């Protein structure tokens, strides 16, 4: 068996073992359905939510609201943080000016300043997009700066020797060298933004997967809570897998001599 399929088989067996353990505990441990709903109960709730929705919205509508907020903020972060990070890596003075700002807000928990954004922008999507943008900006910025920093000087010197100008060096030398680090930032930023989105929806929202989980917790609907958690986890896996696939296509030389 090829290593790729062997790894996939191991992962599948691990997932099945977790589901089996979940079923055994819920069946024989004598726990209340409120504490630990069975896989069958979650499956029945999934069927009902798919057919009639939850609080006026279908499951995919809730997921769509969450993903719309996520992708809007993610797109804004990509088109701003990566160019700024690359320029900061090339221009030490710009990096010196921006590093204190990034270092100041990077350790702050996103929910710490989310209340300020809600006061300024309300509980609509604007405050959530702004929160996600700030949460996703710094991983992309730092990874872009790191990508430029790893570049060897003989690359640029060789390009200059061949007559390349500053823009050509940036586009054909600096950017490709930084791409592996940029994709690390893309995946890190997406995961961080997704977890922040769920937290934001739990604080101030009337739709979305995070809101659905929080609303269900108020009424002790554990099957809805577990369903929401599973949907969030699977969505995160699919998003990361999509980025990983794009990385393999774009940065095809990564890991090769």
Residues 227 and 155 in one domain: yes
Q: What is the pLDDT along the chain (257 residues), one digit of tens a residue?
A: 566 677 778 888 888 888 888 888 888 877 778 888 888 988 999 999 888 888 878 888 888 988 999 999 999 999 999 999 998 988 889 889 998 888 888 888 887 888 888 888 877 788 888 989 999 999 999 999 988 888 777 667 677 677 777 777 777 777 888 888 899 999 999 988 988 887 778 776 778 888 888 888 888 888 899 999 999 889 988 998 898 888 888 887 765 54
- What's the domain range around 172? 37-250
Strands of the chain, DSSP E = none
Residues 87 and 146 in one domain: yes
Residues 26 and 73 in one domain: no
Residues 52 and 83 in one domain: yes
Sign of CA dihedral 34, 39, 41, 46: positive
Q: Structure pTM?
A: 0.85
Residues 200 and 107 in one domain: yes
As to burial, measured by CB atoms within 10 angstroms (0-12 exposed, 13-18 middle, 19+ buried), residue 81 is buried
Residues 88 and 165 in one domain: yes
Torsion of CA 18, 23, 29, 33, to 10 degrees: 110
Q: What is the pLDDT of residue 255?
A: 58
CATH number at 164 reads 1.10.3720.10
Cα 21-22-27 angle, rounded to 5 deg:
100
Residues 11 and 86 in one domain: no
Flag whether 136 is in a domain.
Answer: yes
Q: What is the pLDDT of residue 256?
A: 54
Flag whether 255 is in a domain.
Answer: no
Flag whether 257 is in a domain.
Answer: no
Residues 97 and 199 in one domain: yes
Residues 133 and 23 in one domain: no
Residues 208 and 231 in one domain: yes
Residues 145 and 238 in one domain: yes
Residues 45 and 5 in one domain: no
Flag whether 256 is in a domain.
Answer: no
**Count: domains in the chain:** 2
Cα separation, 202 vs 169, in Å, equals 46
Cα separation, 121 vs 130, in Å, equals 9
Q: What is the pLDDT of residue 254?
A: 67
């Amino acid at each position: 068996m090829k290593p790729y399929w062997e790894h996939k088989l191991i992962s599948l067996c691990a997932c099945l073992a977790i589901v089996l353990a979940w079923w055994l505990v819920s069946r024989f441990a004598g726990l209340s359905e409120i504490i630990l709903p069975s896989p069958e109960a979650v499956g029945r709730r999934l069927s009902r939510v798919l057919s009639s929705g939850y609080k006026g919205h279908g499951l995919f509508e809730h997921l769509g609201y969450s993903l719309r907020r996520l992708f809007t903020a993610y797109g804004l972060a990509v088109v701003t943080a990566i160019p700024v990070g690359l320029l900061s890596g090339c221009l030490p003075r710009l990096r010196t000016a921006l590093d204190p700002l990034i270092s100041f807000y990077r350790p702050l928990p996103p929910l710490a300043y989310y209340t300020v954004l809600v006061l300024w922008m309300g509980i609509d999507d604007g405050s959530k997009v702004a929160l996600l943008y700030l949460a996703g900006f710094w991983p992309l910025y730092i990874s872009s700066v790191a990508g430029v920093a790893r570049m060897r000087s003989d690359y640029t010197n060789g390009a200059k020797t061949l007559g390349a100008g500053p823009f050509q060096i940036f586009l054909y030398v600096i950017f490709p060298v930084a791409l592996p680090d940029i994709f690390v930032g893309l995946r890190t930023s997406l995961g961080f933004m997704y977890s922040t989105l769920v937290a934001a929806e739990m604080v101030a929202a009337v739709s979305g997967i995070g809101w659905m989980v929080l609303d269900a917790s108020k009424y002790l609907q554990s099957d809805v809570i577990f369903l929401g958690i599973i949907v969030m986890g699977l969505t995160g896996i699919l998003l990361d897998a999509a980025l990983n696939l794009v990385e393999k296509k774009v940065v095809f030389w990564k890991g090769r001599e």
